Structure 1
């Protein structure tokens, strides 16, 4: 195959980075070339250039892709966004630097997500004691009753059952109760997911989608995800809104049929490492509001 054509195909969808962001990647590239052996690199001193004779076209294309990949300032670029651990750790570093404006207890965490069947909107009580609402893509909605003094209003569908209360535990939309330490977060996620399967991936997506996570909590979530075995990166993935990014997938369960089952995937923007969504979903709007029905 034509090497220049291969390199062009690998690098054409990747935006160019500023020169300051290339130093680490360039050094890594030269280390890879040096590892091939000095007999494979022939300097032509008069022309002041290098001839690479021992590096395969595919390897060279991959290396060049890694060099030109756009990287947030101050972060070590993952190798062509192909290393799931590097991607998740970069996402954690970005999350940790995100400005934090905690909601007040009587406010609501608003999220709009695009799903295969349309858009879903959620208003979740910040402290879990106020009545929230979820509006489904088909136009229907159902209440999320607040839990006060250990009791919540019971519903049948969208209708409250008069005088019927049921035991509850507050489920806050503002998750300041979660660990900020990576190991503690990993233990939390691993509590009922010992096989590290897609169920754990679904838990990560559920937390990332419709909750307000303090920066340290979100960073711990991504850092804990990076500790899970069997992760795989998917270059040029898209979220439910069609936005391009890099995907991270969890392994299927042993009993899952790989011809039918679809791995759980979380998608990050390839240039900023910001969270975009999960399998077939996309977080298109989020924020904190004062009342159900309001939008940021």
Structure 2
């Protein structure tokens, strides 16, 4: 499998007449958009609780890491601070703030560009060979994970880099993506908040099940959608890589779609294999990654070394950037998927009777 043959046109230049998403859907993929709104709010509320907090002299780190975040999301963030619910649902009452500690750090793994196509080919074959359940109408996708983020916090004239305590996150999404629920420690109450959308989300099961399984066709559509939504300062290859990651994380794609997404990722220039990466729960594995040259951070998809099962995702600073408070080796975001399942009702735990 050739990642970027010189005699072929760039994937973003391939022609395609159809769109991956409905024309009205020009926002972030559901999981990442929701995640960044929550993280922005968490940081804002934490700063409001901290005495003598001064305005930041650099962009919000979550905005800096949000490569597809449109201006509309910032407007929505402001509305949330003004008292509106995150997604039109009930905020669920009081929530306990997350503890913070020293910045999460790691040893930066060795990147291998030549090894990426071979590793992705193996991952694709393993995904295609995985037996995944087929949901029935009315069910919800349940995903449990552990997550944490790192960001600079300024109190008075002193800025320090802190990391959230590793905490649990539970998400329910209907198959059409129009209904869901979130419970996340420190971000919602124990009861959680409503997740709602007027149009099917890109990571909704019904939308994923209809994606083409030919890698070239699939990648053309991904480029079209990511080009339409990305920040102009973000390289299109990085935007496409993140878009695929969004479709693989807080969702439950059919096996054949997951396999096609991995094969499509192998065709994106700049994708590398990483010899060692660690998810949020400490599980070591190999990774598929791509560096954003603009901020010196590398997004890593982590897989079990033996089974090649997807474990989680993390973002690591791999190059110093002028005026950035993050040192090389800082983990700015980490996650670990602990359970995926189809359940019969919203807010129902796997194995629980409806």
Whose radius of gyration is greater, 1 or 2? 1
Classify 1:222/1:102 alpha carbon distance in 2 versus 1 (closer, same or farther; 3 Å). Answer: same
Query: TM-score if structure 1 supplies the norm length?
Result: 0.59
Classify 1:196/1:93 alpha carbon distance in 2 versus 1 (closer, same or farther; 3 Å). Answer: farther
Contact 1:197 1:251 in 2 (8 A): no
User: What is the CA–CA distance in structure 1 between the aligned matches of 2:217 and 2:121, rounded to whole Å?
Assistant: 16
* TM-fit CA distance, 1:196: 4.3
Matched, 1:234 2:274: yes
Q: Give 1:284's aligned residue.
A: 338
Q: Where does 1:245-256 land on structure 2 (aligned, <5 Å)?
A: 245-253=285-293, 256=294
SS in 2 for 1:94: helix
User: What is the CA–CA distance in structure 1 between the aligned matches of 2:250 and 2:244, rounded to whole Å?
Assistant: 11
Q: Where does 1:128-167 land on structure 2 (aligned, <5 Å)?
A: 128-129=177-178, 131-138=179-186, 140=188, 141-145=192-196
Give CA deviations for 1:248-283 in whole Å, capped at 9, x if unaligned: 211314xx142xxx2111111111111111111111
Higher relative contact order (CA 8 A, sep 6+): 2
Matched, 1:87 2:119: yes
Task: Identify which range, 184-193 or 94-103, moves more after superposition.
Answer: 184-193
Q: Give 1:108's aligned residue.
A: 140
SS in 2 for 1:106: coil
* TM-fit CA distance, 1:132: 1.4
RMSD (Å) for aligned C-alpha atoms = 2.2
The aligned length equals: 190
Q: Give 1:126's aligned residue.
A: 175
Contact 2:216 2:264 in 1 (8 A): yes
Unaligned runs of at least 5 residues, structure 2: 1-111, 149-163, 228-234, 315-333
Contact 1:107 1:290 in 2 (8 A): yes
Unaligned runs of at least 5 residues, structure 1: 1-79, 148-167
Q: Give 2:300's aligned residue.
A: 265
Matched, 1:187 2:238: no
Contact 1:201 1:265 in 2 (8 A): no
Give runs of ≥4 in structure 1 deviating > 3 Å.
192-198
Q: Give 1:224's aligned residue.
A: 264
* TM-fit CA distance, 1:288: 0.4
Q: Give 1:19's aligned residue.
A: none
User: What is the CA–CA distance in structure 2 between the aligned matches of 1:286 and 1:196, rounded to whole Å?
Assistant: 30
* TM-fit CA distance, 1:178: 1.7
